[in-house]
Amino acid sequence: MKRDFEKDKKDMVVVEGSYAVASAVKSCRPNVISAYPITPQTHIVEDLSQFMADGEIPNCEYIMVESEFSALSALVGSSAAGARSYSATTSQGLELMHEVLFNVSGMRLPVVMTVANRAVSAPINIWNDQQDSISQRDTGWIQLYAEDTQEVSDMTAQAFKIAEDPDVLLPVMTCMDGFILSHVYEPVVLLDDDLVAEYLPPFEPEFKLDPKNPKTFGAFADPNSYTEFRFLQQQAMNKALKTIEDAADEFYDLFGRYYGGLIDTYETDDADIVLMAMGSIVGTIKDVIDTLRAKGVKVGLLKVRSFRPFPVEAIHNVIKDAKVVVALDKNISIGLNEGALFTETKASLYNTKIDVPVIGFMIGHGGRDIPVETIENIIDEAKKVIDSGISVESQFTDLKEELL
Amino acid sequence: MTIPPGGVCAPGSTLVNKTGGWRTFKPVYDYDKCIKCKLCELLCPDMSIDPKDDGFFEFNYDFCKGCGICANECPKDAIEMVLEEK
Ligand code: SF4
Ligand code: SF4
């Protein structure tokens, strides 16, 4: 993270995380917003609705729909028609969008959507983990994970810039931990409209759905060309690796705030133990690192900001000299007993010359609190791996044995 | 030809891709029974029925999928669905 707090202080206001996101969306000058309420995302679209009612978002249509499936379907049409299009959702709402997620990415529509990460049912649970968005990792959307409310607000502008880049043209999910970020009030600098105008040029797609100049969007592709569509989507993801970095750098130049591009690091230079994580847990980990560093423990943090595209090279550069890597996942692939960050990091190391043990902990499911002691215990487990090798590759954290 | 982003293309390409080969049964008119009511033309979901100069209709077998809706809806049973054979 690079940031001049002293400079930012005079512009800070205390607002809810959802408001910061809504305000950022407003500054990005959207043309169509589709909205369907679902906890903990509701405040974002409520705040946008208020902005609309107050006439603060000119040249924009706010569509109330009857489901999340419709929320995203509406944006397929609007984005194809050349409108900058936005929605927000979470959990079951995101899962209901599953089919449409593929349509948006396959049609290469640069929709931006905030996901206020929440656990999925059953059992019903409205609290935070990241199972909802991780379950959508193969839908062809770029996925960025934010650490705090300032980052998710700033990330919103970056997301439109990345999505609409002609080399990319992929939809972007900006993921913020539900409640932990969406409902917290803390000081943030809201985006300045003029600066955003400078940062984010108008959306001018090469092709538009326009009755005066008819075009077919979402056409049929038979076995002769379907493979190439998938290849081109993957190629766009590869190009996005650079675009995401550039968008973060350009943002820093204009706004003076930087949270990493594909990844960010904290105290990793000489770290023996590298913790990997995404989202708000990053803040807790940094605190633990400060405490342990004071005691001489060489521990650092690799924050993964972009989960799709998965930044293999950037990750390898950070972990290659570590003695152990620990991936923390607020999700699980049931049946593999691993979280996605762990699985993918481990897989990316196979067939390389990097020889570092990787272990995984699944943590914070359904809003289970993650106190510093839990992180400290995990670091103790990591130390054991350095001394005597891996005993358990991947496991649940803080299981309550008395309930089993 | 290269694929543009998202496969956006000029409209009308379905005219090039003839899809009548999907058909198992083909509709055939009996003009002796037909009263030119136009229902078949209106109800064909594939626009595969064209009007003729004499007021009757004809099938466009390049695109007719053989769904049988026209035969089912015809009030005079003037359309027979006949099995396609080589
Ligand atoms: S069989 Fe179906 S597709 Fe063919 S002409 Fe009749 S209604 Fe149209
Ligand atoms: S529906 Fe039957 S009667 Fe009417 S025009 Fe068609 S074939 Fe003739």
Predicted confidence at residue A348, as pLDDT, reads: 98
Cα–ligand 1 centroid distance for B82 (angstroms): 12
Predicted confidence at residue A190, as pLDDT, reads: 98
C-alpha count within 13 angstroms, C-beta hemisphere, residue A77: 9
Give the pTM. Answer: 0.90
Interface of A with B (CB under 8 A): 106-109, 166, 169, 206-207, 214-219, 221, 225, 228-229, 232
Is residue A97 within 8 A of residue A68, CB to CB? The reply is yes
Range in A54-58, A95-99, A363-367, B4-8 with the lowest mean pLDDT: B4-8
Find out whether the beta carbon of B44 lies less than 6 Å from any atom of ligand 2: no
B5–A232 CB contact, under 8 Å: yes
Residue A181 CA to residue A122 CA, distance in Å, equals 23
φ/ψ bin of B83: left (φ > 0), alpha (ψ from -120 to 50), beta (otherwise): beta
Residue B37 CA to residue B32 CA, distance in Å, equals 13
- Three state DSSP letters for chain A: CEECHHHHHCCCEEEEHHHHHHHHHHHCCCCEEEECCCCCCHHHHHHHHHHHHCCCCCCCEEEECCCHHHHHHHHHHHHHCCCCEEEEECHHHHHHCHHHHHHHHHCCCCCEEEEEECCCCCCCCCCCCCHHHHCCHHHCCEEEECCCHHHHHHHHHHHHHHHHCCCCCCCEEEEEECCCCCCCEEEECCCCHHHHHHHCCCCCCCCCCCCCCCCECCCCCCCCCHHHHHHHHHHHHHHHHHHHHHHHHHHHHHHCEECCCCEEEECCCCCCEEEEECCCHHHHHHHHHHHHHHCCCCEEEEEECEEECCCHHHHHHHHCCCCEEEEEECCCECCCCECHHHHHHHHHHCCCCCCCCEEEEECCHHHCCCCHHHHHHHHHHHHHHHHHCCCCCEEECCCCHHHC
Give me the amino acid identity at A32.
Answer: V
Residue A255 CA to residue B74 CA, distance in Å, equals 69
> Confidence band (pLDDT; 50, 70, 90) for A226?
very high
Residue A379 CA to residue A187 CA, distance in Å, equals 31
> Confidence band (pLDDT; 50, 70, 90) for B24?
very high
Kindly report the CA angle at A357 between A352 and A358, in degrees rounded to 5?
A: 95
Number of residue pairs across A and B with CB atoms under 8 Å? Answer: 42
Residue nearest to atom 2 of ligand 1 (CA): B67
State percent of chain A over pLDDT 70: 100
Give the residue among A256, A259, A258 at the shortest CA–CA distance from A283. Answer: A259
Tokens (6 digits) for A5: 């707090």
Cα–ligand 1 centroid distance for B70 (angstroms): 6
Give the residue among A112, A85, A161, A220 at the shortest CA–CA distance from B3. Answer: A220
Is residue A208 within 8 A of residue A200, CB to CB? The reply is no
Is residue A325 within 8 A of residue A356, CB to CB? The reply is yes
At A229-253, the pLDDT tens digits run 999 999 999 999 999 999 999 999 9
At B13-23, the pLDDT tens digits run 778 888 899 99
Residue nearest to atom 3 of ligand 1 (CA): B64
Residue A376 CA to residue A282 CA, distance in Å, equals 14
Beta bridge mates, A360: A327, A394
Q: How far away is chain A from the Cα of B16, in angstroms, using its nearest Cα?
A: 13
Range in A68-82, A204-218, A310-324, A355-369 with the lowest mean pLDDT: A204-218
Overall average pLDDT of the A178-183 stretch? 98
Cα–ligand 1 centroid distance for B68 (angstroms): 5
Residue A152 CA to residue A144 CA, distance in Å, equals 9
Tokens (6 digits) for A10: 């005079």
Ligand 1 interacting residues, C-beta cut-off 6 A: B 27, 44, 46, 48-49, 59, 64-70
> Confidence band (pLDDT; 50, 70, 90) for A78?
very high
Which residues of B, range 9-38, sit inside 8 Å of A by Cβ?
Answer: 9-11, 13
B6–A206 CB contact, under 8 Å: no
A219, A222, A225, A229: CA torsion to nearest 10? 50
Q: CA-CA distances (angstroms) from residue A277 to A211, A263, A315? A: 47, 10, 12
Neighbours of A204 (CB within 10 A): 9
At A295-332, the pLDDT tens digits run 999 999 999 999 999 999 999 999 999 999 999 999 99
A214–B11 CB contact, under 8 Å: yes
Predicted confidence at residue A211, as pLDDT, reads: 93
A107–B6 CB contact, under 8 Å: yes
Three-state secondary-structure class, residue B86: coil
B11–A217 CB contact, under 8 Å: no
Residue A252 CA to residue A255 CA, distance in Å, equals 5
Residue A153 CA to residue A151 CA, distance in Å, equals 5
Helix (H) or strand (E) holding B81: strand B79-83
Partner residue facing A217 (CB), from B3, B6, B13:
B6
Q: How far away is chain A from the Cα of B14, in angstroms, using its nearest Cα?
A: 10
Three-state secondary-structure class, residue B6: helix
Residue nearest to atom 6 of ligand 1 (CA): B70
